[in-house]
Amino acid sequence: MGSSGETPGAPAGGPSAPGRQAGGTPRAALADLLAGNRRFVSGQPVHGHDVTAAAAASGDQQPYAVVLGCIDSRVPLEAIFDQTFGAICVIRTGGHVLDRAVCGSIEYVVGQLGVPLVMVLGHERCGAVGAAVDALRAGERPGGSLAHLVDEIAPAVIEVGLDDPAVHPLAIRRHVRRTVHTLRHDDLLAGPVAAGRVAVVGGLYDLATGEVALLDPA
Ligand SMILES: [Zn+2]
């Protein structure tokens, strides 16, 4: 379904939910983000990605969530959460692997922009996790910076076990949880997380249905 951008008087659960503001609560932000995914799944997005929406959001930004996802071309984050300009910050790396630039970016969004929610979003059939499984099976570490991706994903694969027939899907989940754990203990995030001002949650995207499921719902 097409859309012409902001819809006045948006329906319940729409984009005007209270989580959509800097400094809101993690719970409200998560509800808003998941409501956007339900609009996407139902084929009733309310946000078009047109220049009118871009112009409307061209003042100061007040995003309410940051989503760290994979570079996979089948998982465009603003689309699957039905978010418009200015609503969420998006970071994408292969297999949502962390490095200093990623952590610094999240620290900035949380610390400077007052964003209360960080979501780490993995997805089924992730090629980066598959590459780590293959590298470990072959006993061959790739060259270049690709090695960094494999090195960061490998612990999740090893924890599941290469002998497990479901190693790929299980390692995807384990890797999301490990990434969430790392972020919750990040130097600048641990305090706000412990105080309940910020939540770091893990999710999984289903390529076929478009649905985002929380890995560990509260
Ligand atoms: Zn992926």
pLDDT of amino acid 218: 73
Q: Strand, helix or coil at 67?
A: strand
C-alpha 75 to ligand 1 mean position (Å): 8
pLDDT of amino acid 18: 40
C-alpha 42 to ligand 1 mean position (Å): 24
Q: Strand, helix or coil at 76?
A: coil
C-alpha 119 to ligand 1 mean position (Å): 15
Bridge partners (DSSP) of residue 91 are 68
pLDDT in tens, 143-193: 999 999 999 999 999 999 999 999 999 999 999 999 999 999 999 999 999
C-alpha 67 to ligand 1 mean position (Å): 14
C-alpha to C-alpha distance for 33 and 96, rounded to whole angstroms = 18
C-alpha to C-alpha distance for 15 and 37, rounded to whole angstroms = 11
Which residue carries 């012409």 as its tokens?
A: 4
> What are the backbone angles phi and psi of residue 162, rounded to the nearest 5°?
-65, -25
pLDDT of amino acid 23: 60
Question: Is 28 within 8 Å of 17 (Cβ atoms)?
Answer: yes
**Closest to 33 measured CA to CA, from 68, 73, 82, 79:** 82
C-alpha 58 to ligand 1 mean position (Å): 31
C-alpha 6 to ligand 1 mean position (Å): 30
C-alpha 174 to ligand 1 mean position (Å): 14
C-alpha 150 to ligand 1 mean position (Å): 12
* N residues, the chain: 218
HEC letters along 153-168: HHHHHHHHCCCCCCHH
C-alpha to C-alpha distance for 98 and 205, rounded to whole angstroms = 19
C-alpha 73 to ligand 1 mean position (Å): 9
Q: Strand, helix or coil at 116?
A: coil
10-residue block means of pLDDT along the chain (218 residues)? Answer: 38 42 83 96 91 88 96 98 96 98 98 97 98 97 96 98 98 98 98 97 98 92
Structural tokens at position 79? 């689309």
How many CA atoms lie less than 13 Å away from 19 in the CB half-sphere?
Answer: 28
C-alpha 51 to ligand 1 mean position (Å): 29
C-alpha 133 to ligand 1 mean position (Å): 13
Number of Cβ within a 10 Å radius of residue 158: 14
Structure pTM?
0.89
